[in-house]
Amino acid sequence: MYCFAFRPYSRKFCQPLRTHHGSWEVREGILLRLSDEMGNVGFGEIAPLPEFGSETFQQALHLCRQFPEYIEKTDILEISEPLPASQFGFESAWLDLTEKMPFETELPHSQLLPTGEAVFSVLESQKPEAGKTFKWKIGVTDIELELQWFDRLLSSLPPNATLRLDANGGLTWETANRWLAACEGRSIEFLEQPLPVTEFDEMLQLCDRYTTTIALDESVATLRQLETCIRRGWRGVFVVKAAIAGSPTRLCQLCENHRLDTVFSSVFETRIGREAALRLAARLQTVPRAVGFGIEGWFADDEERLLRQF
């Protein structure tokens, strides 16, 4: 039996995050704590992302409120599939309590750049270091304009920088082809989710037509979707948002059995969820790639203070 406590949180972005899904202003999630009679404690976090097919914050909150003060391992294992962020949160709290592994990963982080033209003022003011990986969202405004910015961005980046593009499923067949043509001969690490989830076969065709690697993100948000895309023959990169994928144990089995080329990525969770996801990344990323957790400075509040209050 484990004593269970939870605390919902709400964090405001300094600047709303603009993607093809819209503008995101507040990250809501739930911190979880399990403790046993020996005094061992484990923390977990539910950080839902309904735009990617996870449960909503309200559904996760409802689950937490339904649980009694003392829960068992079976309660955690029985959390049902439509609640993948909750499966991750509870199971990683349980793993934290039972395994108590020290946190150490040396993985490099990619830095998320502001969307659109706002990228240039940040690059000018921050003077980013050489050799870093950057990520820039596309498919948000007029393609002509974005392609001009893309050229300017490539010449503004520091030496040996790596750039990944993320369309969040916001391109059409025509604009995806234009983007990939523009990427030819440029060192773009990958283009993430060019087309909507429903256009899987078209994305497979894009892989054959161009040399730039394509990564699936929205298409593989949950373990069930990940399984489906493996079965349907995806051999590109898989972006794994561990915090909304579902059970970490099942995620490990799937990635290891199929030797997937994965890039672990953030859903703007706090350090609790981030550390749980990065432990998985350290174990499961087979190709050296920067992880997508470079989100420092995106929130207005003090994260450590928020965590200390729990």
Of 100, 127, 135, 137, the active-site residue reads 137
Q: Identify the CA nearest to 183 among candidates 206, 216, 160.
A: 206
Amino acid letter, 152: R
Are 150 and 31 in contact by the 8 Å Cβ rule? The answer is no
45 vs 217, beta carbon nearer Mg ion: 217
Cβ-count burial of 80 within 10 angstroms (0-12 exposed, 13-18 middle, 19+ buried)?
exposed
Angle between helices 200-209 and 173-183 (to 10 degrees): 30
Residue 73 annotated to the active site: no
191 vs 255, beta carbon nearer Mg ion: 191
Minimum CB–partner distance for residue 167 and Mg ion (Å): 8
72: tokens are 């068992």
Report which DSSP code applies to 128.
P
Minimum CB–partner distance for residue 193 and Mg ion (Å): 6
Distance CA 30, CA 272 (A): 10
Distance CA 180, CA 182 (A): 5
Minimum CB–partner distance for residue 71 and Mg ion (Å): 33
Closest residue to Mg ion using C-beta atoms: 217
Distance CA 162, CA 41 (A): 39
166 vs 199, beta carbon nearer Mg ion: 166
Distance CA 233, CA 158 (A): 36
199 vs 217, beta carbon nearer Mg ion: 217
166 vs 275, beta carbon nearer Mg ion: 166
Minimum CB–partner distance for residue 198 and Mg ion (Å): 17
Of 12, 73, 132, 241, the active-site residue reads 241
* Residue found by looking up tokens 């040399």 in the block: 211
Minimum CB–partner distance for residue 95 and Mg ion (Å): 26
Please report, as ranges, the residues that interact with Mg ion according to CB under 5 A: 166, 192, 217
Residue 12 annotated to the active site: no
Distance CA 151, CA 308 (A): 44
Catalytic residue set: 137, 241
